[in-house]
Amino acid sequence: MRLSMTVMFACALSFAQLLPDWRKGDNQDIIDKWYNDTNQNFHGVKQVVEEDGRLCQHLRLDSRGEGVGLFRVSADVRPALPKTSYLLEGWVKSDVNWQIFWYEFLQDGPYLTHYPANGGKTGWKRFSHIIETKENSTYFKVSLIVSEAGGKGTWFSDVRMTNLSSAQSMRIPALDSDPKLDADATSQAWSKATETSAFMLLGPELKVPTASTKTRVGIHGKTLHVLMELEEPTMDKLLLDAQNAWGNDTAEIFLESEDKTVFQFGVTPNGKEFHFSFPAESRGYFVDWYSGRRTTGGNYVDWYTAKQGDRGKAKTESPAWSCAAKKGEKGWTAQFAIQIPDAVLDGSRICRIQFARSRKHKGGFEENSAWSRTKGEFFRDVNCFGKIALARTALSAKAEYLMNPPVPKMSDGVVVPAPQSMSLSSSYVSWGNPLAIQVGEGCEKAFRVAKHVFDKQFGFGCEQAKSGQIRLELVKNLDLPSGLKEWQQREAYRLQFKGNACVVQALTERGLTCGLLTLRQLCVPRDGGLNVRKAKVVDWPEMEMRGWHVTGPATEMDFEAAKKMIDVFAALKYNWISIQFDNRFAYERNPNLSMARASTKAQHRELGELIDLYGMDVVPMTQCMSHFNYFLGKPEYRHLAEVQNPPENARHKYWNYCPRHPEIHKLVFDMIEEHLECYPKAKWYHVGLDEITFEPIGVCDRCKGATGGELVAEEINRLHKFVTSKGRRMAMWGDQLLVEHNGGGRFKTAEALPKVPRDIVIFDWHYGAYAKYPSVEFFQKEGFDVIASGWFNVVNVDRFSTVAFDQNALGYGGTTWYNLINVYKSNQLMSAIVLAADRIWKRRETSLDEVKIDLLEVFRRLHNGERQPEPVKYRAISLAPWANMSLKGGGPYGWMGLPESEDASALLSSWPSSFAGVPFKAPEGEKHAIALATRDEKDGLFEDSAWQIPIGGRVKALSFLQTCSIPETFTSFIYDQKGVNPSVLGYYVIYFEDGSSSRVSLSWNTTVTHWNSQLGVPLGKTGWLGRTKSGARLQLDVITWPNPKPELAVVTLDFISQFDKARPVLLGVTAVE
């Protein structure tokens, strides 16, 4: 039984307008995928199954909760181009009620809902719906919905979206063999063919034909194979006896040759074939003022008769071809096998083509439809032909290898945070694997730290030895400056080399850990060993409490990523980490509080053991009173909400619990106790209490008449009494106690301040880049210990940490407000975490202008670890045939459309030998880069894609030198709350010799960023940093795709635009062998 292969086949087309594929394999890197989009109160089944020979998304609603029940899956599709026509089509079979919603999201936040189809119990039926987007459209969401429980559910198949406003395009895969010429649609020979069914009626109006046509296409050798399945409900009415074959019901293909000759191939349901060629027409130009003579064969031979002249003959011979047809009960099938000319196969392998159907019935009915929309009356309009790219199978060009850049033999000596005193040697020592460590008395825990760090960072083992490459010693005197406080001495260490051995000394095991973490940053894996930069370091901190607040791992799957982030914080010598729970935890006493697949108590205990191994403190945390919508939004807890019936337009609903409800504190205290069971060594507990006044308080029957200050003071004291009864010190956010923050206004919660116990630690959060932060001193004068709390903005980090030093605050604590496992994808958080570590270990007098370290690279190195570099060769990939943008400014194809004062011409005069360690071929000619179209392309200068860039051969990786234009509008805020930023600018699609592919998404500020970026991309490296003539910062980045199938040859690369707000630009590709 043949499986339908047209289910969201996104990789087949250059335009990424199709919905995600339900099959596994080719789309492992697509960001937007089908996801469960169902209210947590409803349960159902979502699975990919085979049904009646079709590959389907099967949905079934099993249980109903409160309200209207439904079970649905959704997919986000980006972008939605403005003022553009789209077709959504597919097939459905159902045992129950079903619906399809198509959401069109607009620039300013709202969305439109389109209703393509709905129904009840039905056999397989086709649906289609056409819309024209608004001028401010941004993206789509498509939802497949089952709205009735019971029965077997609903099957959706072949659901796809097509842009109708531009010519169609399609990549043609290689088939394993030539299909037998028998018009058999069930043959497995078509299993790798790509498919399309988006046929539209000819003419100016957008209309879908009443009978569908599905076309499958593939190539084997030199032969293009096409199979057309033509639905026909009334087979007995087909016109089959017209004198000329083309006068009957027909399936047709139009193919344009290299010299613009158009070939027509057709077949009728009875198998009668026909073929024509149409040479390229040229009217020519008059050569004199009186006759009809023209420069080339024109329409007339003279000026006084209507005699037609010779239009010329086709320069390209008609290709060999054959066809077959087969009739069935509900339609017929046509098959074509066409020999593609060598000129096409040896060149770009790109053809212009049209697939067409002329449906004719006895009695005069005629319905003409085509794959690539044709607004006129005739199929043979070459301006409307679509484009196909024929799969390459081998590399024909001679390989050009680039010189391998030198690999540094030792560390660059950058240590973050920078030690109090460090002298670097110009020499290094090389240590083998495993490392031999001499463990002094009382240093067993430090040895375990060494084992963990060198294994995770380098893949090196550690063994205890009587004499070793590393010596760990606890000493009674480090010869430190006088006057250091006990907490400074606790983390102080001395590191020095004696011969080839590194001696780490400290007063405590925490000090030994700090020394080992500095040693790690002096190491690089080289030549099978670990090369270590010799240095002498004496170090201690100048701020007592240095840490970061993070949201805990949401699910069990996030656990390993959470451990990697703890390793990063430890490596940067933070000494505490606050882990926020909320619903991201599998509660045992109240399981309904937990999100699905939440992280477990056992996993948190393991995180606690890792934190303790480093000698760090953990501060468990959950939001109390406010931010409680995680729980209050559930029907079983809604009665605990302060506002029982929030307005429909309220931004924050079920935000606060009622602090006087008799049931609430049993629930909250049970939560806190379970958190402390995970982290029994915790000394503090953080109860949140921020942003309470984002929703009204004092409005329920229990709280009416009480002021905001009274309610907040009561809650603080209740929580304080409970937390301290558990032997922990309480911490909380400070904003509701500040009149100038969230404590003023209507509810005046700052009036609670006099009643608040002074042993509470205030986390004083401010996220703006202010000149002053007076609240630190204010809280200190009120008798509180203060942790200054910044966020992602590096200027905020720099200024706020300075204030913390100036005011002698207890410490500094950054905040993420970001999924812990995704921090490594945020260039802002990565930079802030590294900068803060350097700024709070010791006071810095230098400005941000003087920061020379690559913040992102430090984070990447500590997060990802480092491994032995393998011997490689670098092969140049030529982009010259596709290049369409100059590095020089000015003119239509100038750099980013900018003047010479802002161009990248400085790069041309001094092309580096390598970019982030990878060599790239210097551009040639007048155009140096490939630039693709944006959503607002007006002049048509830039194409939507660069297809068929030859790679050829087996590669370990591909490296891309890239950037993008600056969007007209974007936000630098960490959250794009209004959706103004670009999303996915485009893709690199890499094709293997077996026809499979891999996709690299060019995601805004993750894998690509603009040329004037201040930070760079998290999942790449800064390849080149320079200046324009005006002095603007100019940055190019390198991202590397590691080949998941190195045993297979990589054949070609496609560079595809997603028509977003910024122009993706590719300057170089290098194959790593």
The answer to whether residue 803 scores a pLDDT higher than 60 is: yes
User: How, if at all, do strands 785-789 and 874-877 pair?
Assistant: unpaired
How far is the first Cα of the chain from the last one, in angstroms, to the nearest whole number? 41
Helices 601-613 and 559-571 meet at what angle, rounded to 10?
20
At residue 991, what is the residue type?
A: Y
* pLDDT interval class at 545 (50, 70, 90): very high
At residue 964, what is the residue type?
A: C
Do 34-163 and 874-1072 come out as alike in CATH topology? yes
User: How, if at all, do strands 137-146 and 71-77 pair?
Assistant: antiparallel
The residue assigned the tokens 């790509």 is 194
The answer to whether 109 and 77 have CB atoms below 8 angstroms apart is no
What's the confidence (pLDDT) of residue 287? 57
If you write DSSP's letter for every residue of 484-530 in order, what string do you get? --HHHHHH-EEEEEETTEEEEEESSHHHHHHHHHHHHHTEEEETTEE
How buried is 287 (Cβ within 10 angstroms: 0-12 exposed, 13-18 middle, 19+ buried)? exposed
**Mean residue pLDDT across the chain:** 89
What's the confidence (pLDDT) of residue 292? 55
Under DSSP, is residue 329 helix (H, G, I), strand (E, B) or coil? coil
* Segment 176-189 mean pLDDT: 95
What's the confidence (pLDDT) of residue 7? 31
The answer to whether residue 871 scores a pLDDT higher than 70 is: yes
Quick one: the chain helix, strand, coil %, rounded to 5?
20, 35, 45
* pLDDT interval class at 556 (50, 70, 90): confident
The architecture CATH gives domain 169-390:
Sandwich (2.60)
Q: What is the CATH number of domain 34-163?
A: 2.60.120.260
What's the confidence (pLDDT) of residue 303? 40
Residue 497 CA to residue 426 CA, distance in Å, equals 13
What's the confidence (pLDDT) of residue 170? 87
The answer to whether residue 535 scores a pLDDT higher than 50 is: yes
| pLDDT tens for each residue of 996-1055 | 889 999 999 999 999 999 999 999 999 999 999 999 999 999 999 999 999 999 999 999
* Segment 761-781 mean pLDDT: 97
- Of the listed ranges 742-746, 816-820, 868-872, the one predicted with least confidence: 816-820
What's the confidence (pLDDT) of residue 40? 57
Q: Tell me: domain 421-539, CATH 3.50.50.60, correct?
A: no
* pLDDT interval class at 236 (50, 70, 90): very high
What's the confidence (pLDDT) of residue 975? 87
Return the domain boundaries, the chain. Answer: 34-163, 169-390, 421-539, 544-615+769-869, 874-1072
Burial code of 306-339, b = ≥16 C-beta within 10 A, e = fewer?
Answer: eeebeeeebebebbebebbbebeeebbbbbbbbe
* Segment 622-628 mean pLDDT: 97
The answer to whether 661 and 644 have CB atoms below 8 angstroms apart is no
Greater model confidence, 79 or 390: 390
What's the confidence (pLDDT) of residue 727? 98
Q: What is the CATH number of domain 874-1072?
A: 2.60.120
* pLDDT interval class at 335 (50, 70, 90): very high
Greater model confidence, 634 or 318: 634
- Alpha helices for 697-742 (secondary structure H): 708-725
* pLDDT interval class at 149 (50, 70, 90): confident
Please give the share of the chain, as a percent, with pLDDT higher than 90. 72
Torsion, CA 697, CA 698, CA 700, CA 701, rounded to 10: 170
What's the confidence (pLDDT) of residue 380? 87
Q: Is the peptide bond before 269 cis (omega within 30 degrees of 0)?
A: no
Residues with Cβ < 8 Å from 292, sequence gap 6 or more?
286, 298, 300, 301, 302, 303
* Segment 765-776 mean pLDDT: 96
The answer to whether residue 237 scores a pLDDT higher than 90 is: yes
* Segment 116-138 mean pLDDT: 92
The answer to whether residue 124 scores a pLDDT higher than 90 is: yes
* Segment 315-325 mean pLDDT: 85
| pLDDT tens for each residue of 3-61 | 232 333 222 222 223 344 433 333 222 224 678 887 655 567 888 888 888 888 899 88
What's the confidence (pLDDT) of residue 312? 41
User: How, if at all, do strands 331-339 and 321-327 pair?
Assistant: antiparallel
* Segment 840-849 mean pLDDT: 92
| pLDDT tens for each residue of 289-298 | 655 555 544 4
* pLDDT interval class at 600 (50, 70, 90): very high
Residue 295: CA atoms inside 13 Å, Cβ hemisphere, count?
Answer: 6
| pLDDT tens for each residue of 939-995 | 778 988 999 899 989 999 999 999 999 999 888 888 887 778 998 999 999 999 888
The answer to whether residue 254 scores a pLDDT higher than 50 is: yes
Burial code of 214-253, b = ≥16 C-beta within 10 A, e = fewer?
Answer: bbbbbbbeebbbbbbbbbbeeeeebbeeeeeeeebbbbbb
Q: What is the pTM of this model?
A: 0.87
What's the confidence (pLDDT) of residue 3? 29
Q: C-alpha angle 374/380/381, rounded to 5°?
A: 50
* pLDDT interval class at 689 (50, 70, 90): very high
What's the confidence (pLDDT) of residue 13? 29
The answer to whether residue 1065 scores a pLDDT higher than 70 is: yes
The answer to whether 1056 and 990 have CB atoms below 8 angstroms apart is no
The answer to whether residue 77 scores a pLDDT higher than 90 is: no
What's the confidence (pLDDT) of residue 316? 58
